[in-house]
Structure 1
Amino acid sequence: ALNILLPVTLSSFICLFLCSSIEGPYVGSWKGPTASAEDVYDPKPQAPETELPTEEIQPTTVETYDRLGKLPAATHILDSILNNYDYKLRPGIGERPTVVTVELSVNTLGPISILDMEYTIDITFYQTWYDERLRYNGSFESFVLNGNLVSLLWVPDTFFRNSKRTQEHSITMPNQMVRIYKDGKVLYTIRMTIDAGCSLHMVKFPMDSHSCPLSFSSFSYPVSDIIYKWDNFTLEINENNSWKLFQFDFTGVSNSTETIATLAGDFMVMTLFFNVSRRFGFVAFQNYVPSSVTTMISWISFWLKKDSAPARTSLGITSVLTMTTLGTFSRKNFPRVSYITALDFYIAICFVFCFCALMEFAVLNFLTYNRTHPRGSPKLRHPRIHVRAPTPPRIPDPESFVCDIEDSEEEEEEESDEEDEGPSCPARQAVRPSRASSPGGCCRWCRRYCCMVPGCDGSSWQQGRLFIHVYRLDNYSRVIFPVTFFFFNVLYWLVCLNL
């Protein structure tokens, strides 16, 4: 009897031990989940499989269905609306046009290339329309589909008409998204960078302002199929971002809507205009200041002596060449337009001033040394005719005239302050008659209104004419050039800033 009871007792003890070891983990595993776990899909690692009674497995199955019930429901809704959906056909085909509401968000604007006449813009493009085929019933307000599923839906074939290059961002996934609402509303969002053309009118450069357009429309659907409209013209401008306008300031934005006729039909075109104005500081220090300073430097020759021909000539030629270099430099990064700009006109006038300063010395040198000998050279006066006797009288040879030599250093001041009568040697006057005796061409016209001192003293016909002293051209230039340049600048800036 003892041998029979001992195995029964051991088997009962082992059975009780095994039941207690299985029941412990089972009870503890159901105390972990909370109420928030029903809303978030977050599966936990599963315990090793154990043989449990049927009545103990049933609660686990019910709990898992409650936690993951929304995922099968969302899958069922998407499958039901996409199974019979034809993405090749637009909504409302054959009944009414599809209305697409457009909105823009500008991430970055610029830079603006003057040479290529284009600008770069980074935007997030929003398009909204209604598609009755996507309506559904359920507890979900909307579904979000990423870029990989956009091809399953119909989207407008919008393209940018004045774009030269367009880049769609795809890091780390394609930057596009579709949101579907319960009532069939669809929101399509895409981010892109566009290099768009912008016709720059540079007549008022550098006081110019421009409106760079961004035009878009449907590529294949005419106005009878697709109608675009603004969402109350809400344009988000993120000026806090790193805009790259550099030489320009953003002044505002405007829009327009028009319908254009093509061979494929009438299309609705929407256009945004980004208004910018040029910053004047950069161009002023690069062009206006050097041009003005170079023009003023050319006036230094008016304070140099007439005898300093190398210095005055070098200064004048250097000023002209500098203005030529500045004119070329201003056109280096400039489009090859067929008209002149405000800056070109200013540099051209400065070039004329520098050239006139060089020509003033040439005229002064010609008039001075055409009438008298150079300074420091002997001056010929009191001619004496030597006639040999007893030869018969004959007409004296002008070349045989001999004049007395006098040093001209004592009379330098008299020539500059008093009205000199030119060369007093009669022989020189006979060989080279003065201009008063043989005026012609332009000089004849000038002599009708002005008189060139000293060649016109004591004549009665000079009454009421303007007297110009030949040897005082430098004195006249010291006043005429700065005053003329000053009035030119006043008139130039008044006209340019008020246009």
Structure 2
Amino acid sequence: MDSLGLMWGVLLVSVLLSGRFQVDGRHHRGKRGPEDEDTNRLLVRDTRDDTDKADATNEISKLSNRTTSVTPTMVFLNILDNYDQRLRPNFKGPPVQVYCSAYINSISSISEESMDYTVMLFLRQRWNDPRFVYHDYNDSITLYEKVLDKIWVPDIYFVNEKGAPFESTSGHSTLLRIHPNGDVLYSAKKTILLACPMNFQLFPMDSQACKIKMESYGHTTKDIEIWWSKEDAVLIDQDIQLPDYDLVTWTTNNNCDSHHTTGTYSCIETKLFLIRHIGYYLIQNYIPSILIVILSWLSFWISPEIAPARVALGITTVLTSTTLTVVSRSAMPKFSYVRAIDVWMMTCALFIFSALVEFAVVHFIFKRDKKFAISRRARELSQRLPRKKKATDKKDVTSEDADDQVDFKPDKGMSSPELDQDTVAASEEAKPHRTPAEIKALYMRRARRIDYYSRLLFPLLFTVFNILYWSVYLSWYH
């Protein structure tokens, strides 16, 4: 109990003492002098200055952090501040080396009549521009077509272009990419109509070489030199399928500089080698013409007595052959040289026309007996005339009688009846006169003999022609 009372006493004394100190402090602050007030003001001002310095330091650190994260836009805008797109890189220095590559995506509309074709490709150009060197950004910068007017690009154009370029349906057809070392990649999608001079002497077993030729328009070789890229200069889509041709190979050429009055301009070109498909023309021209020629030979099996049938067949085949010849040239330009298919069509027309002429000869020989009937009547009238008149006309009658007595042996061939008549007239005078039936049978045999020989000769000659034609032209068909 004594210890507990002592503790309470000590606690009460300490409370009283602390209250006294607080009262003295208040009285002391209430009676501060000028020096004390100035000291407090300096302490407050120092505290505020320290706070402002801390805030300024924080703002500076934030701005420094922002400047360290450089954006591609800032880099490009900084480059454009001192950039003049009207001047080429290394102005008044060595020529700019421009390396090109092309990826051909499609080839279409190859026209023989206008000698052109349409190609869609991606043209990529690479060069170095020291004005594009930057160090604030460690990656390449990709730009689009809106900034092309603000930078310099090579003025490359297609020399054999015929038509205006087609507009891209997607709206985005160009790409520009710059690298920290100043290398520039410019890629553009182009759909163009190009001229392709063609030679059709071997048509339809021909091959064509179509060019894609590019050169600088306004800069001579002192300013720009254009080259194909060393690797993958020209690539072609493997899915390209042409209805009339096969794309077999292509070549590139760097040495085709153009020399003009204004200077020498750097040029590059590639050749696309195309081989025509012959299957379509076999079905459209060759096989029908063969069938028409064979059809004309059917007249050799028709009797010469049936003239209307043979005439109709011959004229029909001639007109059909002429139509096929005209159709084969309808989709071609108007040239003067002879094509391979023209040789074929003209030979077929010659065979068909020869078959029609053969019928005319056969029909003439077949009806020759009517002439001898007229000669017999003339002889009977001459017997009734006076003897003097009869003697005067002896030569004429004798010649006419000789006509009645003409006889050809089978080994005489297909010679003309009038020529053979004069040749054997002297030997036939001593022979007895033939009856009209015998004369008619004689000339019918001769006519049918000509048909028989034609059945063998025409197919043989046409077969020989086919062997020569296909062996010669297929040897030139690559």
Provide TM-score, normalisation by structure 2. Answer: 0.74
5 Å matches for 1:183-202?
183-202=181-200
Matched, 1:480 2:457: yes
In structure 2, relative to structure 1, the CA distance for the partners of 1:314 and 1:385 (3 Å cut) is: closer
In structure 2, relative to structure 1, the CA distance for the partners of 1:91 and 1:168 (3 Å cut) is: farther
5 Å matches for 1:84-123?
84-123=82-121
Partner of 1:359: 357
5 Å matches for 1:313-392?
313-370=311-368, 372-373=369-370
Cα RMSD (Å): 3.9
Partner of 2:400: 430
1:454–1:470 contact (8 Å) kept in structure 2: no
Partner of 1:490: 467
Distance 2:165 2:171 in 1: 14
| Helix, strand or coil at the partner of 1:373 | helix
Distance 1:323 1:312 in 2: 17
Partner of 2:127: 129
5 Å matches for 1:38-117?
72-117=70-115
In structure 2, relative to structure 1, the CA distance for the partners of 1:384 and 1:145 (3 Å cut) is: closer
Partner of 2:251: 254
Distance 1:392 1:344 in 2: 66
**Residue type of the alignment partner of 1:492:** Y
| Helix, strand or coil at the partner of 1:94 | coil
1:140-167 per-position Cα deviation (integer Å, ceiling 9, x unaligned) = 3210111111111100000000001242
CA drift of 1:357 comes to 0.3
Distance 1:459 1:235 in 2: 88
5 Å matches for 1:457-472?
471-472=448-449
Distance 1:495 1:110 in 2: 31
Partner of 1:46: none
1:346-391 per-position Cα deviation (integer Å, ceiling 9, x unaligned) = 0000000000000011112223333x1299x999699767978xx9
**Residue type of the alignment partner of 2:251:** S
Partner of 2:37: none
Distance 2:349 2:337 in 1: 18
CA drift of 1:239 comes to 3.0
CA drift of 1:169 comes to 3.9
| Helix, strand or coil at the partner of 1:217 | strand
Matched, 1:144 2:142: yes
In structure 2, relative to structure 1, the CA distance for the partners of 1:477 and 1:159 (3 Å cut) is: same
Partner of 1:440: none
In structure 2, relative to structure 1, the CA distance for the partners of 1:159 and 1:397 (3 Å cut) is: same
Tell me which of 208, 211, 217 is aligned to 2:209: 211
1:102–1:229 contact (8 Å) kept in structure 2: yes
2:158–2:213 contact (8 Å) kept in structure 1: yes
Q: Which has the larger radius of gyration?
A: 2
1:452–1:469 contact (8 Å) kept in structure 2: no
Distance 1:428 1:71 in 2: 128
Distance 1:168 1:296 in 2: 50
1:111–1:246 contact (8 Å) kept in structure 2: no
1:135–1:184 contact (8 Å) kept in structure 2: yes
CA drift of 1:134 comes to 0.6
Distance 1:330 1:482 in 2: 24
Distance 1:494 1:295 in 2: 20
In structure 2, relative to structure 1, the CA distance for the partners of 1:240 and 1:491 (3 Å cut) is: same
1:453–1:469 contact (8 Å) kept in structure 2: no
Q: Gaps spanning 5+ residues in structure 1: where?
A: 1-53, 400-425, 437-445, 461-467
Distance 1:145 1:100 in 2: 19
**Residue type of the alignment partner of 1:366:** F
2:375–2:400 contact (8 Å) kept in structure 1: no
Matched, 1:287 2:281: no
| Helix, strand or coil at the partner of 1:395 | helix
Distance 1:344 1:435 in 2: 48
CA drift of 1:138 comes to 2.4
Distance 1:387 1:207 in 2: 72
1:109–1:120 contact (8 Å) kept in structure 2: yes
In structure 2, relative to structure 1, the CA distance for the partners of 1:236 and 1:214 (3 Å cut) is: closer
CA drift of 1:451 comes to 7.6
1:111–1:244 contact (8 Å) kept in structure 2: no
**Higher relative strand content:** 1
- What is the count of residue pairs matched by the alignment? 397
Partner of 1:297: 295
Distance 2:463 2:353 in 1: 17
**Higher relative helix content:** 2
In structure 2, relative to structure 1, the CA distance for the partners of 1:386 and 1:246 (3 Å cut) is: closer
Tell me which of 215, 222, 225 is aligned to 2:223: 225
CA drift of 1:232 comes to 1.3
Provide TM-score, normalisation by structure 1. Answer: 0.71
| Helix, strand or coil at the partner of 1:201 | coil
**Residue type of the alignment partner of 1:81:** I
| Helix, strand or coil at the partner of 1:163 | coil
| Helix, strand or coil at the partner of 2:108 | strand
2:70–2:137 contact (8 Å) kept in structure 1: no
Tell me which of 216, 240, 245 is aligned to 2:242: 245
2:402–2:426 contact (8 Å) kept in structure 1: no
